[in-house]
Structure 1
Amino acid sequence: MITEANLVAASLLGLAGAGHCVGMCGGIASAIGIGSRNRRSLILAYQAGRVTSYAALGFFLGAAASMLDLPAWRMGLRVIAALMLIAMGLYTANWWFGLKHLERLGAVVWRPIQNVSRPLLPARRIPQALALGAAWGFLPCGLIYSALAWASAHANARDSAVLMLFFGLGTLPAMLTASLGANWVSQFFKKLWVRQVIGATLCAWGMLNLVMLLRHSMH
């Protein structure tokens, strides 16, 4: 069962990744529907496809993690979830970049998807923009893959999907403003002190989860 604190953590992670998201996806996002009368609808469709892709990935990975119903497995996943939260906090605050190794692994998955998504450019219709956004959800990004690992460690398809949905929603303010040519949101979340505050919050929540798990295991 996910808590409100976990939903806040997922949203904060998405917000903190604003600068990273705009750097990796901002170019394609800002090019969606240029010169089209329904550009805003195309942009919203692209973003909806991207966020839906995150939630779908969370659902399937959460379902896979839930297949083994053993106490030791469940406890191990909870520890992994707490450690991933700490790792993401360190990554967000620019204190440790070990999660970048996940991007190299993701590049293997991304190449065939990139080939499939190319014919969708330029996206001039809403179904095209939606499909393009869904494909872009697989972009090799340490932040996304880390969030997926954390969400799937909850070993529940619905919970993992909801956590990834909130992560995706957290990225929307920066991505939408970047698409429309207003980068002030992403610029704010790029500020080092903002990233460090959010990163420290995520680390604190991860460490608190570890302490709670330790206390639970001792009873």
Structure 2
Amino acid sequence: MDVTINLWALIILGFGGSIGHCIGMCGGFVLSYSHALQNRQILGHTLYSLGRLSSYTLLGIIVGGLGQALTINIHIKGIFFVVLGIILLLIGVSLLGKSRFLLKVENFLKDILPVETFFQYAFSQKGMIGIFLLGLANGLLPCGLVYTALLTAAGSGSYIWGGIGMFAFGLSTLPVMLLLGFFSSKISSMRYRNTILKIIAILLIAFACLMIYKGSMFLLMDAGTSMMMKHH
């Protein structure tokens, strides 16, 4: 799949999702440390953001590498894209409120991943190191938006582009999250969040259909190649 499409999809997902999803899901973490920063707001928010970006980039490299390993031939590549597209489609439908698929995935991963322990450790650390670790832990938090971004990054089929894509995703969430930290009382009550989330869901469904189409084309090409080889 064209990495440019993946990159733009991640940027749109990050920026739009930060308004429609991150404020509600992650706003509490930002508010939890914002009041303690006093005159060190810029440094604190920067370190927290660097922690999130570090987690996103590392995860992007991992899933991009897995995507690269799973696209060693055209048949496997086709299956890979179709499966990713179906999962993204289910996530998009969940974001529209028509399914509980995403909630079930988040709850399942929340039970098996030791993220809560990491959060407790981060909260126990004092000063700016604790804030950086809190951002690092937040980047690992079971979150449908992040999972969607990771699946998109995996579709790049490259550990390099997977890392770049997730870094771009993280950067695109920064404007809203930084504003939330500085003007929490105003932004936390923003209107139109549900509308923005629905727009993101529709765009995600369209992207999922594109991914399924790409995978189907790979499978058809593989079938055509196999038939030609048999005739020869």
Question: Into which bin does the TM-score normalised by the smaller protein fall?
Answer: 0.7 to 0.9
Q: State the match for 1:102 in structure 2.
A: 105
Looking at structure 1, the residues matched to 178 and 139 of structure 2 have their Cα atoms a distance apart, in angstroms, of: 15
Q: State the match for 1:154 in structure 2.
A: 156
Alpha-carbon deviation of 1:53?
Answer: 0.3
Question: Which shows bigger deviation, 146-155 or 25-34?
Answer: 146-155
Q: Which of the residues 121, 132, 144 maps onto 2:123? A: 121
Looking at structure 1, the residues matched to 206 and 189 of structure 2 have their Cα atoms a distance apart, in angstroms, of: 24
Q: Deviations over 1:47-106 (max 9, x none)?
A: 121122011112112223433423322221122233333333333333433122221222
Larger radius of gyration: 2
Q: State the match for 2:211 in structure 1.
A: 209
Matched residues, number: 217
Distance 1:171 1:109, change over 3 A: farther
Q: Which of the residues 176, 180, 183 maps onto 1:181? A: 183
Q: Deviations over 1:105-149 (max 9, x none)?
A: 221344x33323324337653333222211121112222223323
Q: State the match for 2:224 in structure 1.
A: none
Looking at structure 2, the residues matched to 95 and 14 of structure 1 have their Cα atoms a distance apart, in angstroms, of: 22
Contact 1:61 1:157 in 2 (8 A): yes
Distance 1:212 1:71, change over 3 A: closer
Q: State the match for 1:8 in structure 2.
A: 8
Distance 1:8 1:131, change over 3 A: same
Partner letter of residue 80 of structure 2? L
Looking at structure 2, the residues matched to 117 and 90 of structure 1 have their Cα atoms a distance apart, in angstroms, of: 30
Q: Which of the residues 171, 177, 193 maps onto 1:190? A: 193
Looking at structure 1, the residues matched to 214 and 65 of structure 2 have their Cα atoms a distance apart, in angstroms, of: 25
TM-score of the two chains, using structure 2 as the length reference: 0.78
Alpha-carbon deviation of 1:31?
Answer: 2.4
Alpha-carbon deviation of 1:189?
Answer: 5.5
Alpha-carbon deviation of 1:169?
Answer: 2.3
Unaligned runs of 5+ in 1: none
Partner letter of residue 101 of structure 2? G
Question: Which shows bigger deviation, 117-126 or 127-136?
Answer: 117-126
Q: State the match for 2:21 in structure 1.
A: 20
Question: What is the percentage of aligned positions where both structures have the same residue?
Answer: 26
Contact 1:78 1:154 in 2 (8 A): no
Looking at structure 2, the residues matched to 91 and 12 of structure 1 have their Cα atoms a distance apart, in angstroms, of: 18
Question: Is structure 2 residue 75 aligned with structure 1 residue 40?
Answer: no
Q: Deviations over 1:158-195 (max 9, x none)?
A: 12222222222232232222212245488355132x33
Looking at structure 1, the residues matched to 73 and 44 of structure 2 have their Cα atoms a distance apart, in angstroms, of: 45
TM-score of the two chains, using structure 1 as the length reference: 0.82
Q: State the match for 1:58 in structure 2.
A: 60
Q: Deviations over 1:20-66 (max 9, x none)?
A: 32222211212225243212211121012112201111211222343
Higher helix fraction: Structure 1 or Structure 2?
2
Partner letter of residue 91 of structure 1? S
Looking at structure 2, the residues matched to 206 and 168 of structure 1 have their Cα atoms a distance apart, in angstroms, of: 21
